[in-house]
Structure 1
């Protein structure tokens, strides 16, 4: 594969780095009380959902030893 040896004009990239706009963006609007309350409620809902899934999920994933012991005791009683 041969590479091109022609110079590539990247002056437009350098000019874009130096460009400064004299137009100021409009100021950000402050969030209203209802928007802040909504964000808090959404955050609390998501957090409560994650905590609830952990509360219900961790016991379901744990290995329960009691049924294995009862099966062994039933087998020993049948002998």
Structure 2
């Protein structure tokens, strides 16, 4: 494959791992109230969807004998 032609001293590579910059990043911008409200509404929508899916899915997760009784009664009738 492709090989580098110039050698890289190992000390340079090791030094790059612990390099710290003395330049501080700019301060983070504050979110506008409309952005906070939008993110809150999105979060509430996701939570409401999860809760709704649990409420609608719980009857199918319950082990009831109603389905088994109907099937057994139908098989005894023959």
Return 5+ residue gaps in structure 1 as ranges: 1-8
| CA displacement at 1:28 relative to structure 2 | 0.5
**TM value normalised by structure 1:** 0.65
Q: CA RMSD in A?
A: 2.5
> Could you tell me how far apart the structure 2 residues matched to 1:46 and 1:69 are?
38
**TM value normalised by structure 2:** 0.66
| CA displacement at 1:67 relative to structure 2 | 3.9
Return 5+ residue gaps in structure 2 as ranges: 1-8
What residue in structure 1 maps to residue 64 of structure 2? 64
> Could you tell me how far apart the structure 2 residues matched to 1:66 and 1:50 are?
27
Matched positions, count: 71
